């Protein structure tokens, strides 16, 4: 912390502060000179220079070391108030003081440089690791649909006479599915880069949660999932002020995740309720749930479960977390006692008091 703070201090301030520090300590020693032996003062000043060395750059430290040596000589080594050193022993002490102070400053600086280098190296290797993970999952996720499209179109172009109309239909359906999958991956990447850029601002507008949820479900149904989705939206849910695009994407990603990682014909349940001033959405499935020890990691970027089949980029859930937090909310993952996973979203949202008795509700009949 201290290092972080002082690294930001400008060069001239570093000189000023380190010299000031030496002067204050020397002054205190001077006040108590009658009670402290001048050799002890040397140690106190050495400690002072060491402390300065931990926080400041090399040159202010060296200056402070020189100053402290001179002060010690002038004010403390007998005869006091002269630069003259009385005994040979004291001359040796003074030279040793000077050397220790200098070595101290230089060594501390060296350690700092090594630490900095190690930190940078680690950061770099982490970035490389992340980048490799991304490339691996991406190239798989993008290549599979591309391979499908290339193979299917090639088949249709060169082998047309041997294909039955039914075969052709199926190949075309494959091409279509692959294209939508590609499109979805590109969307995931764009969302991720929006999050990464840090400029993501929710665009709040009034939303009909019912409509929003069904829009997400409609997109899921287009993926031809076989799971059964039950929707349970509290009937008196008011119109809420939220970012519709983000919330729809969150719900879509959670439902899509449930569809991808549960057995065919599994049950998925979505519940939405509003308690002032929070929207709560619970999405629960009756699949196998998540391994307990991995729950804390699943929202990390590119994280894939150890047991996970190939496919998937590990972006879906991290986008869920990123978007939820961008809206000021939180997402919690738990395993249900009966098996299966439960995601709980809590998002702050303003509601409207618009009632059915509103002035716009006059009947014309």
Pairing mode, strands 228-233 and 267-275: parallel
Q: Are strands 341-348 and 330-335 parallel, antiparallel or unpaired?
A: antiparallel
Residue 142 makes contact with another protein by CB under 8 A:
no
The Cα–Cα gap between 85 and 91 comes to 6
Report the 10 Å Cβ neighbour count for 259: 20
Is residue 199 at the binding interface for another protein, with CB under 8 A as the rule? no
Least Cα distance to 212 among 192, 239, 180 occurs for 239
The CA angle 238-243-248, to the nearest 5 degrees, is 85
- From 40-48, 82-90, 211-219, 338-346, span contacting another protein (CB under 8 A): 211-219
- Of the listed pieces 28-36, 208-216, 267-275, 282-290, which binds another protein according to CB under 8 A? 208-216
Least distance (Å) between residue 197 CB and another protein: 14
Q: Does 1 bind another protein (CB under 8 A)?
A: no
Q: List the one residue from 206, 234, 267, 342 that touches another protein (CB under 8 A).
A: 206
Please tell me whether the peptide bond between 277 and the residue prior to it is cis, using omega within 30 degrees of 0. Answer: yes
Cβ neighbourhood burial of 348 (10 Å; 0-12, 13-18, 19+): middle
The residue from 51, 163, 231, 326 that contacts another protein (CB under 8 A) is 231
Residue 215 touches another protein, criterion: CB under 8 A = yes
* 236 is a contact residue toward another protein (CB under 8 A): no
Near another protein by CB under 8 A: residue from 50, 210, 297, 344: 210
As measured in angstroms, the least distance from the Cβ of 228 to another protein is 16
**Which of 179, 297, 330, 335 is close enough to bind another protein by CB under 8 A?**
179
**Closest C-alpha among 362, 339, 207 to residue 286:** 339
Residue 172 makes contact with another protein by CB under 8 A: no
Residue ranges in 242-271 that form contacts with another protein under rule CB under 8 A? 244-245, 248
Dist. CA 332–CA 329, nearest whole Å: 10
30 vs 180, beta carbon nearer another protein:
180
Q: How far is the CB of 214 from another protein (least distance, A)?
A: 5
Dihedral sign for Cα 71, 72, 74, 75, please: positive
Residue with smaller CB distance to another protein, 90 or 248: 248
User: Can you tell me the distance from the alpha carbon of 304 to that of 257, in angstroms, rounded to the nearest whole number?
Assistant: 12
Query: Which residues would be at the binding site for another protein (CB under 8 A)?
Result: 179, 183, 187, 190, 205-208, 210-211, 214-215, 218, 231, 239, 241, 244-245, 248, 352, 354, 360-365
């Amino acid at each position: 912390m201290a290092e972080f703070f002082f690294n930001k201090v400008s060069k001239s301030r570093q000189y000023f502060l380190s010299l000031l520090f030496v002067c204050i300590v020397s002054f205190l020693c001077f006040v108590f000179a009658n009670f402290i032996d001048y050799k002890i003062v040397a140690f106190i000043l050495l400690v002072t220079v060491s402390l300065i060395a931990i926080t400041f750059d090399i040159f202010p430290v060296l200056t402070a070391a020189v100053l402290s040596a001179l002060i010690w000589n002038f004010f403390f080594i007998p005869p006091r108030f002269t630069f003259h050193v009385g005994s040979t022993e004291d001359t040796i002490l003074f030279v040793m003081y000077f050397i220790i102070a200098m070595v101290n400053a230089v060594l501390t600086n060296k350690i700092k440089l090594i630490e900095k280098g190690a930190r940078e190296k680690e950061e770099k290797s982490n970035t490389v690791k992340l980048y490799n993970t991304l490339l691996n999952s991406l190239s798989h996720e993008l290549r599979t649909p591309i391979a499908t499209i290339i193979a299917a179109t090639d088949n249709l172009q060169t082998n047309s006479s041997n294909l039955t109309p039914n075969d052709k239909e199926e190949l075309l359906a494959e091409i279509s599915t692959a294209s939508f999958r590609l499109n979805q991956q590109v969307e995931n990447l764009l969302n991720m880069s929006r999050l990464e850029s840090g400029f993501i601002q929710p665009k709040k507008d009034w939303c009909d949660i019912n409509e929003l949820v069904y829009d997400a479900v409609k997109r899921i149904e287009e993926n031809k999932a076989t799971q059964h989705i039950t929707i349970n939206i509290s009937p008196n849910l008011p119109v809420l002020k939220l970012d519709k695009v983000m919330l729809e994407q969150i719900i879509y990603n959670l439902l899509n995740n449930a569809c991808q990682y549960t057995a065919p014909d599994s049950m998925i349940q979505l519940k939405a309720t509003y308690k002032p001033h929070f929207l709560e959405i619970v999405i629960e499935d009756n699949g196998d749930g998540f391994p307990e020890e991995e729950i804390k990691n699943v929202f990390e970027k590119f994280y894939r479960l150890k047991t996970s089949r190939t496919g998937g980029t590990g972006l879906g859930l991290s986008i869920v977390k990123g978007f939820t937090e961008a809206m000021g909310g939180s997402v919690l993952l738990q395993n249900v006692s009966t098996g299966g996973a439960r995601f709980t979203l809590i998002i702050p949202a303003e509601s409207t008091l618009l009632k059915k008795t509103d002035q716009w509700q006059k009947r014309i009949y």
